[in-house]
Amino acid sequence: MTARILDGKALAARRRTALAQQVAALPFRPGLRVVRVGDDPASGVYVRNKDRAAREAGLDSETIHLPEATTEAELLAVVHRLNEDPAVDGILVQLPLPPQIRQDAVLDAVDPAKDVDGFHPVNGGALLAGRPGLVPCTPRGVMLLLEEAGVSPRGARAVVLGRSTIVGRPMSLLLLNADATVTTAHSRTRDLAAECRRAEILVCAVGRAELVRGDWVAPGAIVIDVGINRGADGRLVGDVAFAEASAHAGAITPVPGGVGPMTIACLLENTVQAALARRAG
């Protein structure tokens, strides 16, 4: 079997075009503010990509770049100012933050109605309760990729590798809310390979280059690779050994060009969702 490739880049491009049309028809411009603290080069690339994509979609986007030595109180003051600013619909604080700043204190300070990353406990609680809210971008993007591929989670055995608050946990909840039977695996899981082999839908969000081997993948399984890692030769690779897994899977996302572009598309969609919800109520 040779797996079908799930092209996240193409799907994200289509969704961004549709969103730009929706935004152009609005009587206002949804506002996104990305806050970056310090000079981490990887964060710089992510922030620039988000800002460019937001502008292309017609959003009013701005990056606020603060120095590495910014204190927690100074960052909280910026977040509070953005919470109060009526022109701002979405606030994203780029992670990681420098060590003098407590990440939780900052994420908790963002107005849940403007929390387009979906990391505020109020939005996490809504997801847990199966209520509407702002959903973290990467797992939301995975659900859209599954939908596009015609894969229904209902009744399916899904295995999620990873339990971070950013990807793994919300991913498991979204699949559960979509009626999958979900196993969440992590670094303490015994016999990871056996757990993976039971999956009809396998989502890998671990951050270990090519951890998941071909013989961990059940015949015909849908494999979604969230991981972004540098391989030994410097190439970007996922958590899944792509060539090996493709020989077993029914469908698989590539790295790059799979989940990554969907994350950005969903950030833009969350911003428009937040803008419409704030004005509705």
Give the residue numbers marked as catalytic: 50, 94, 117
CB 200, CB 158: distance < 8 Å: yes
Site for ligand NDP in 33-72 (CB under 6 A): none
Q: Rule CB under 6 A: is residue 260 a binding residue for ligand NDP?
A: yes
Site for ligand NDP in 221-240 (CB under 6 A): 226-229
- Cα 243 to Cα 10, 84, 196: the distances in Å are 21, 50, 17
Q: Rule CB under 6 A: is residue 11 a binding residue for ligand NDP?
A: no
Smallest separation (angstroms) from ligand NDP to the CB of 165: 8
The one among 107, 203, 206, 267 contacting ligand NDP by CB under 6 A: 206
Smallest separation (angstroms) from ligand NDP to the CB of 256: 9
Cα torsion at 192, 195, 198, 199 (round to 10°)? Answer: -80
Q: Rule CB under 6 A: is residue 197 a binding residue for ligand NDP?
A: no
**Binding-residue total with ligand NDP (CB under 6 A):** 25
CB 17, CB 263: distance < 8 Å: no
Burial of 139 from C-beta contacts in 10 A (0-12 / 13-18 / 19+): buried
State both tokens at 71: 């204190």
The one among 138, 183, 253, 273 contacting ligand NDP by CB under 6 A: 138
Smallest separation (angstroms) from ligand NDP to the CB of 47: 14
CB 98, CB 70: distance < 8 Å: yes
CB 202, CB 153: distance < 8 Å: no
- Residue ranges in contact with ligand NDP by CB under 6 A: 138, 161-164, 166-168, 186-189, 192, 205-208, 211, 226-229, 259-260, 263
